[in-house]
Amino acid sequence: MKILVIGGGGREHALVWKFKSDNTKHKIFCAPGNPGIKALAECVTIQANKIQELADFAETNRIDLTVVGPEDPLSLGIVDVFEKRNLSIFGPNLESARLEGSKAYAKKVMERFNVPTASYLEHDDYQQALNYVNEIGTPIVIKADGLAAGKGVTVAETIEQAEAALKAAMLDKVFGDSGTKVVIEECLFGEEMTVLAFVDGETVLPMVPSQDHKPVFDDDRGPNTGGMGAYSPVPHLEKWLPEIERRILRPVAQGLAAEGKPYSGILYAGLMLTGNGPIVIEFNVRFGDPEAQVILPRLENDLAEVMLAVVEKRLHEIDLSWKPGASVCVIAAAPGYPGPPTKGLPITLPQSFTGNTQIFHAGTALSNEQLVTNGGRVFGVTAQGADIAEARKHSYGLMEEISFEGKHFRTDIAAKALNL
pLDDT of residue 87: 98
Domain membership of residue 232 (yes or no) is yes
225 and 311 share a domain? yes
Domain membership of residue 117 (yes or no) is no
306 and 348 share a domain? no
Domain membership of residue 412 (yes or no) is yes
Domain membership of residue 231 (yes or no) is yes
306 and 394 share a domain? no
310 and 331 share a domain? no
DSSP state of 117: B
| Burial classification of residue 353, based on how many CB atoms lie within 10 Å of its CB (0-12 exposed, 13-18 middle, 19 or more buried) | middle
Work out the pLDDT band at 108, boundaries 50, 70, 90: very high
In degrees rounded to 5, what are phi and psi of residue 322?
-125, 140
276 and 361 share a domain? no
Work out the pLDDT band at 354, boundaries 50, 70, 90: confident
Domain boundary among 71, 93, 115: 93
Contact 169, 142 (CB under 8 A): yes
Distance CA 251, CA 107 (A): 14
What does the pLDDT average to over 173-178? 91
Domain membership of residue 143 (yes or no) is yes
Domain boundary among 266, 285, 317: 317
Contact 8, 30 (CB under 8 A): yes
CATH number of the domain encompassing residue 169: 3.30.1490.20
- CA–CA distances in Å: residue 201 to residues 107, 173, 293: 20, 36, 25
Distance CA 14, CA 5 (A): 11
Domain membership of residue 73 (yes or no) is yes
Domain membership of residue 238 (yes or no) is yes
Note the pTM of the prediction, 2 decimals.
Answer: 0.93
pLDDT of residue 420: 61
- CA–CA distances in Å: residue 127 to residues 124, 131, 174, 266: 9, 6, 18, 37
Mean per-residue pLDDT over the chain, rounded: 95
What residue numbers bound the domain in which 387 lies? Answer: 326-418
Q: How many domains does the chain have?
A: 4
284 and 396 share a domain? no
Residue 367 one-letter amino acid: S
From 325, 317, 327, 270, select the one nearest 17 (Cα to Cα): 327
pLDDT of residue 152: 86
Is the pLDDT at 296 greater than 80? The verdict is yes
- Residue 404: CB partners within 8 Å, gap ≥ 6? 332, 334, 345, 346, 347, 348, 373, 378
203 and 308 share a domain? yes
- Residue 136: CB partners within 8 Å, gap ≥ 6? none
Is the pLDDT at 80 greater than 70? The verdict is yes
Is the pLDDT at 122 greater than 70? The verdict is yes
241 and 310 share a domain? yes
Distance CA 232, CA 392 (A): 11
- Residue 382: CB partners within 8 Å, gap ≥ 6? 14, 290, 293, 294, 297, 327, 328, 329, 330, 357, 358, 359, 360, 395
205 and 308 share a domain? yes
Domain boundary among 149, 180, 211: 180
Is the pLDDT at 151 greater than 80? The verdict is no
Domain membership of residue 58 (yes or no) is yes
pLDDT of residue 355: 83
313 and 333 share a domain? no
The pLDDT tens digits of the residues spanning 362-413 come to: 999 999 999 999 999 999 999 999 999 999 999 999 999 999 999 999 999 9
The pLDDT tens digits of the residues spanning 254-293 come to: 999 999 999 999 999 999 999 889 999 999 999 999 999 9
Contact 218, 411 (CB under 8 A): yes
CATH number of the domain encompassing residue 10: 3.40.50.20
Is the pLDDT at 28 greater than 70? The verdict is yes
pLDDT of residue 178: 87
CATH number of the domain encompassing residue 337: 3.90.600.10
276 and 346 share a domain? no
Is the pLDDT at 150 greater than 80? The verdict is no
The pLDDT tens digits of the residues spanning 313-352 come to: 999 999 999 999 999 999 999 999 999 999 999 999 998 8
What does the pLDDT average to over 293-303? 98
CATH number of the domain encompassing residue 229: 3.30.470.20
204 and 311 share a domain? yes
